[in-house]
Amino acid sequence: MTVGGDTVTEVVRLSWKDVRDRVHGRVLDGTYAPGDRLPRDEDLAEEFGCARSTVQRAMQDLSLSGIVERRRKGGTRVRRDPVTRATLDIPITRNEVENRGAVYGYRLIGLTTEAVPPPVTAKFEMAGSEEMLRVRALHLADGHPFVFEDRWVSLRTVPEILEIDLAAQSANEWLVRNKPYTRCDLRFYAMNADAETAAILETGEGAALMVIERTTWIGLDPITSVKAVTAPGYEILTRS
Partner DNA sequence: AAGTGGTCTAGACCACTGA
Partner DNA sequence: CAGTGGTCTAGACCACTTG
- Which of 114, 188, 219, 220 is in the footprint of its own copies by CB under 8 A? 188
Name the burial class of residue 62, with classes exposed (0-12), middle (13-18) and buried (19+) by CB atoms within 10 angstroms of its CB: buried
Considering only residues 42 to 61 of the shown chain, the ones binding its own copies according to CB under 8 A are none
Dist. CA 225–CA 132, nearest whole Å: 10
- Which of 56, 129, 169, 203 is in the footprint of DNA by CB under 7 A? 56
- Which of 22, 24, 26, 70 is in the footprint of DNA by CB under 7 A? 70
For residue 71, state whether it binds DNA (rule: CB under 7 A).
yes
Binding partner of residue 17 among its own copies, DNA, none, CB cut-off 5 to 8 Å per kind: DNA
Rg for the chain (alpha carbons), in Å?
25
- Which of 87, 119, 165, 168 is in the footprint of its own copies by CB under 8 A? 87
DSSP 8-state secondary structure symbol assigned to residue 37: B
Which one of 10-18, 110-118, 189-197, 200-208 is the stretch in contact with DNA (CB under 7 A)?
A: 10-18
What does 137-192 look like in DSSP terms, one character per residue? EEEEETTEEEEEEEEEEETTT-GGGGGS-TTTS-HHHHHHHH---SEEEEEEEEEE
For residue 78, state whether it binds DNA (rule: CB under 7 A).
no
Q: Position 179: which residue type?
A: K
Mapped onto helix, strand or coil, the DSSP state of residue 57 is helix
State the nearest-atom distance from the C-beta of 66 to its own copies, in Å.
7
| CA proximity to 227, closest of 104, 100, 116 | 116
Q: State which residue, 39 or 105, has the beta carbon closest to DNA.
A: 39
Q: Position 58: which residue type?
A: A
Dist. CA 17–CA 52, nearest whole Å: 14
- Which of 158, 166, 209, 223 is in the footprint of its own copies by CB under 8 A? 209
Binding partner of residue 73 among DNA, its own copies, none, CB cut-off 5 to 8 Å per kind: DNA
In the complex, which residues of this chain contact DNA (CB under 7 A)?
13-18, 38, 40-42, 49-54, 56-57, 59-60, 63, 70-76
In the complex, which residues of this chain contact its own copies (CB under 8 A)?
24, 28, 66, 81-92, 95, 176-177, 180, 183-192, 206-210, 214, 232-238, 240
